[in-house]
A and B are shown apart, each in its own frame.
Chain A
């Protein structure tokens, strides 16, 4: 269901409201309103009645006004009908909702109201809270703040088909970004719709908060996800991350996002079982929104500037939370310089994940050797200083390191030591494999990864001694470096 939103301070409230006297807001569709219609007649000719759905209801009263446009109801902040209000000196001095004889008599200053009626009946929801009506009101109040070109979809066109045919999708159906949905999405941030968040490659197009919100709607995000999407778009659009190169390379990696901090919990993100898989809306749609921004704002489409030879399924979207509560280590974002307790995204180049099995090792040394063996295969077992990688340590592997007192830094250092490759093993032709480093290119052992080229995160379910290697792309200048950014409001 769409989020209900608070409306901006609304239209001309004063219009026609009495400076002194009683006002009732009703709708015919409400049984309580119909029940108390005779009571309204008892309140005398000075009563002003606003009818939300039928100007002819209630019949026989002196001053029933048409509020089917709901302007007065919005201005008065009506939540329930009937609502009886008293004005004095031009301002509201009291109101009662639903029907409670005692409250009505006190507010009206009239005794003996509705004597044949029950003492109490709850009211009904104001029409301003009907979802479709609320959308109309929202668009009426704020639609003018949207700058995007409007697309009309014909009544006989299928919405999902129309959006696919216009090229807005990644191949899966998207949520139609109607003005109401985009406005609701924009409620998720305090940033102005027109603010340029980033210049998005490959076309170097300016992405406004509104454009990002549109793509977040397309992706299926809830409004509260928007600040995370905005931070991810900012991070992915930096020169350091080099999304242009990552997109244009024939290598299949793509941007992935790790979320840290309170926002991950607040959004119910998954850093536990199946964290890298399907089934969690925030994980699935935040990653997808970033990819749709690159596609729809940046112009990065497969077969055009996206040259991936094969790609991987995570190019639809790849986003997960780190399991900070279970982790023996400081959060990844903190290790990367973000202040503790701060929500942040880390965007990194990612292939599809590949598990590393070790169900036997009880010592950190043995387990580190297993993980190093898995990491050695990144790009090619005989290539060194080629591609970056991310290692996602699962809880049952994390336990082994935690019990031995290994910090994240210690694990990284041990892995770096284990991943010093001997030139004789990796030179071209060695092992009967032509691929490898050129002869004479190295005199001594060569590190598999550049310094900081291996990122270590912690996530996963409580059972299973299966960590995961996520290969990256060329690291450093000319390639892509992971980028962390705080999540704003």
Chain B
């Protein structure tokens, strides 16, 4: 999140990819850093034990369907 702030500060459009379990962490850190919301793509949890193919499928699904907030 600090990287997001730093990159945006340099004028580089930035967004955040994270699994859905971390939504409240994103909210808390965004608020602490002075943002009402941060553009983020939430992929469905779980991810840690997924295979590479399953991860690709999750990414494709997220790309097509996940809500993007800005």
Contacts and interface: CB of A to CB of B under 8 A. Distances in A.
Contacts of A299: 28, 32
B25 A305 contact: yes
Contacts of B22: 307
The prevalent SS among residues of B at the interface is helix
A301 to B, nearest CB: 7
Interface string B26-43: 011100110000000000
A366 interface: no
A357 interface: no
7 contacts: A203-B32, A299-B32, A303-B24, A304-B29, A307-B21, A307-B22, A307-B25
Contacts of B32: 202-203, 299
Contacts, number: 22
B21 to A, nearest CB: 8
Contacts of A301: 28
Interface in B5-49: 21-22, 24-25, 27-29, 32-33
Nearest to A301: B28
Contacts of A305: 25, 28-29
A168 B33 CA distance: 19
A307 B24 CA distance: 10
B47 to A, nearest CB: 11
B50 to A, nearest CB: 13
Interface in A288-319: 299, 301, 303-305, 307
Interface in A246-304: 248, 299, 301, 303-304
A202 B22 CA distance: 15
Interface string A453-469: 00000000000000000
B29 A202 contact: yes
A248 B24 CA distance: 12
Contacts of B29: 202-203, 304-305
A339 interface: no
Contacts of A8: none
A100 interface: no
B59 to A, nearest CB: 20
A204 interface: yes
Nearest to B25: A305
B33 A304 contact: no
A301 B22 CA distance: 13
The 6 closest A-B pairs by CB, nearest first: A304-B28, A203-B32, A299-B32, A305-B25, A305-B29, A305-B28
